[in-house]
Amino acid sequence: MNRRRFLKSAAAIPVLAGACSELTRTSAAAASNPPASRVRPTDPLWPSEASWDVLRREVQGRLIRVSSPLAACQQSPLDASCREALQQLKNPYYIGDQPALTQTSGWVDAWMSAPSVYAVAAASTEDVVAAVRFAKEHNLRLVVKGGGHSYLGTSNAPDSLLIWTRAMNSVAVHDAFVGRGCAGRQAPQPAVTVGSGAIWMQAYDAVTTRAGRYVQGGGCTTVGVAGLVQSGGFGSFSKRYGTAAAGLLEAEVVTADGVVRTANACQNPDLFWGIKGGGGGSLGVVTRLTLRTRELPERFGGVFGTIKAGSDAAFRKLTARIIAFYHDQLFNPRWGEQIIFRKNAVSISMVFQGIDRSQAEAVWRPFVDWVWRASGDFAFDPPFRFVDIPARHFWDAPYLLKNHPELVVADGRPGAPEGNLIWRGDRGQVGWFVHGYRSAWLPASLLHKDRQRSLADALFASARSWDVGLHFNKGLAGASADDLAAAKDTAMNPAALDAFALAIIAGGGPPAFPGAPGDKPDLEDARRAARKINKSMEPLMRLSAARGSYVSESDFFERSWQRSYWGSNYPRLAAVKRKYDPSGLFFVHHGVGSEEWSADGFTRSATRSAAVGS
C-alpha cells in the first residue's frame, strides 16, 4: 500500500493564518454577487488553453485531460486496450484507477457516468487548493472523487473539472492523538490519520492487520474513506462501534475560498459537525481525516444460509418467527449485517464480533431446531454455514486468500497489490446500472411484541414485489449509550438513532458505461423493475411513517430529501453551507444547498431557498 507522508503541519500554517477574517470577507463578497450560471466548454468564458497551462504548472503537471478507457472501443472493438477495459468493468480496483469511470455506471432516467473535461490528479493539499481556486475564478462546475462509489452520481459530471484524490492515500496510525488547538482540552487517544483518497481496505490493513486495532469504517472494501465519513458511515459492526462520522476527531478541509482549514471540536466546530454526516461534496474538499481507533475483539465471524418456505402460509410463519428471534437473540451489539426476505424465502448473511463460532452456533440453535421440526414447511438451501476468523486477519489479504478464498475476490490484474480484495458478496454492485433504490429507517418500536405481527405482514407484502433487505447494522438502536451519544453529535438524520435497521429495496443491471460496445441497457425493463421496487417499499413506508432514509443509499428521485436525509438537522446544515460556501461552488445532487441550482448544477434557481426542510 502506498503510504505517502502527509504534509508537515508547519507547511499549512501560512495558509491558515488569518483564515477567519478572510472567510468573513470572501463570504460577504460571494453572497452579494453570486454567479447565475457556470460555464461549459462551448461558452466563450471557458478557460483558454493558456489558463489551463497555468493550472497545470501550479499542480506540477498533474492536470490531465480526461478520456474514457472505452474510447478505444469506438475506433476498434478489437483493439487490445478496448478488450482490457471491457474485461475489467467488473473489477472495482480497475474502475477506481480510471478518472473517467465511476463504481456505478448510471441510473435509469436519472444519470449516466460521464467523464469530466479535465482532472487534477491531486497528490497534495496544495493541488486541491489550486483546483478549487481555479474553479472559483473561472466559474466551473467542480466535482470531487475519491472512491467514486456514489449511487446518486455525485462523483461525476460532464463539462466539469474533477478533483481526483485517489493518490492522496496515506495512512498513519497514532498511539496518542490530540487535535490541533485541543491540547489541555482533550485527552490523547489512539487514532489513525487517512488521506482523502484512501479506501477502507487500505485503512483496515494499517489499523487492524498491522496495528491490531479497529477503526469504524465501511463494509465494502473499495469505498472511499472520506466519502463514507461525510455521509455518516455504517459498517458491518456499527451496532458495536457506531458510525464512522461519530469517530471523526479532526479533518483538513479546503473550503470554497481556497483556504485550508482544520475542523475539529476546537477549531471550526460548525464545519466539523457539518462534515460528520452532512454528505460529501457540499461543504468543501476534505483532504485528510483523523479517526479514533478502538480495541479489537478476539474474533469476527458470520453466519450464512437460506431457508425456503413451501407455501405463502409457511413464509408468513417463517417471517414472524425470524423477527421474534432477532428481537430476542440478535438485537444487541454483537450482531450486524442483514437478512433478506425474498418471495417465500429468507436469506441470512449476518456477522458477529466478540464471540466465537461455537457461541454463535449456540445462539442460532433454537431457531435452526424450530426450522427442522417444521421440515414439511421449510428447507435449508443452502444449509447454514458458520465462519469465524481471528479479528486481526479479517482484512488480511494473504490470510483470506489462503484460508477463506470462498469469501473474497482478488484484483486479477497482473502486478496488482495483494491487498486488493473485495468481499464476494459485493461483486454485483461493481459497475452496475441502477434500476431503483429505496431505503427507510425502521424504528425499534416495531420489534415490540405488540407490533411484530404488523412488521411481519408488511415484510410479507413487500416481498411479493421485490427482495427486501433488513440491514441491522445500519440502525443504531441497541448500541451503547456512548456510541449513541457520539452519533447524536453528527449531522445525520436523528431517525437513525432509534432505528433497529435500514430497510433497503434495490435492483440494477450489468455495467452500462457510455462507449462500451454491445447491448445497451433495456430501459423499459429497468423502468418496470423501478416500479416494482417502489411498490415493494410502500408497505414499509406506511409502517415506518416515512421517517427518512440514508443519504448514501437512497432514491435518486427522493422528493423531500432535506427532511429524509437530515431531518431536523437540515436548517443547521444549510447555515454551515451559507457560511463556508455562500456562492455555491460545491454542488452535488440532493446535497446541502442544491435546491438553489438546476438539476445539473449549472444554473442558479431564481428563488433561493436554503432553509427548505426546516
All structural domains of the chain with their residue ranges: 1-296+568-614, 297-402
Q: What is the pLDDT of residue 422?
A: 97
Radius of gyration of the chain (CA): 24
The proportion of the chain whose per-residue pLDDT surpasses 90, expressed as a percent, equals: 88
Average pLDDT, the chain: 92
- Report the alpha-carbon distance of residue 457 to residue 449 in Å, rounded: 14
Mean pLDDT of the 103-125 span? 97
pLDDT at 483: 96
Separation between Cα atoms, residue 437 and residue 553, nearest integer Å: 7
* Tens digit of each residue's pLDDT (9 = 90 or more) over 576-595: 999 999 999 999 999 999 99
Residue 13 pLDDT grade (very low, low, confident, very high; cuts 50, 70, 90): very low
Q: How many angstroms from the chain centroid is the CA of residue 553?
A: 8
Tell the CATH topology of 1-296+568-614.
3.30.465
Q: What is the pLDDT of residue 33?
A: 67
Residue 263 has pLDDT above 60, yes or no: yes
Cα(608)–Cα(602) distance, rounded to whole angstroms? Answer: 15
Q: Which of 166-180, 200-214, 570-584, 594-608 is the least confident region?
A: 594-608
* CA 417 centroid distance within chain: 23
Identify whether the C-beta of residue 157 lies closer than 8 Å to the C-beta of residue 144: no
Average pLDDT over residues 438-460: 97
Segment 300-332, tens digit of pLDDT: 999 999 999 999 999 999 999 999 999 999 999
Band of residue 35 on the pLDDT scale cut at 50, 70, 90: confident
Q: What is the number of alpha carbons within 13 Å of residue 579 lying toward its C-beta?
A: 15
User: What is the mean pLDDT of the segment spanning 156-168?
Assistant: 98
The length of the chain is 614
pLDDT digits (tens, 9 = 90+) for 144-155: 999 999 999 999
CA angle 455, 448, 536 (to 5 degrees): 15
Q: Residue 614: which pLDDT band, with cuts at 50, 70 and 90? A: very low
H or E element at residue 361: helix 357-373
3-state SS, one letter per residue, for 310-327? CCHHHHHHHHHHHHHHHH
76 — pLDDT class (breaks 50, 70, 90) = confident
For 488-547, how does the pLDDT look when each residue is reduced to its tens digit (9 = 90+)?
999 999 999 999 999 999 999 999 999 888 768 999 999 999 999 999 999 999 987 768
Alpha-carbon gap, residue 459 to 357, rounded angstroms = 29
Q: Phi then psi for 335, rounded to 5 degrees?
A: -120, 145
- The CA dihedral of 210, 168, 247, 553, to the nearest 10 degrees, is -110
CATH classification of 297-402 is 3.30.70, yes or no?
yes
**Per-residue confidence band for 77, with pLDDT thresholds at 50, 70 and 90:** confident
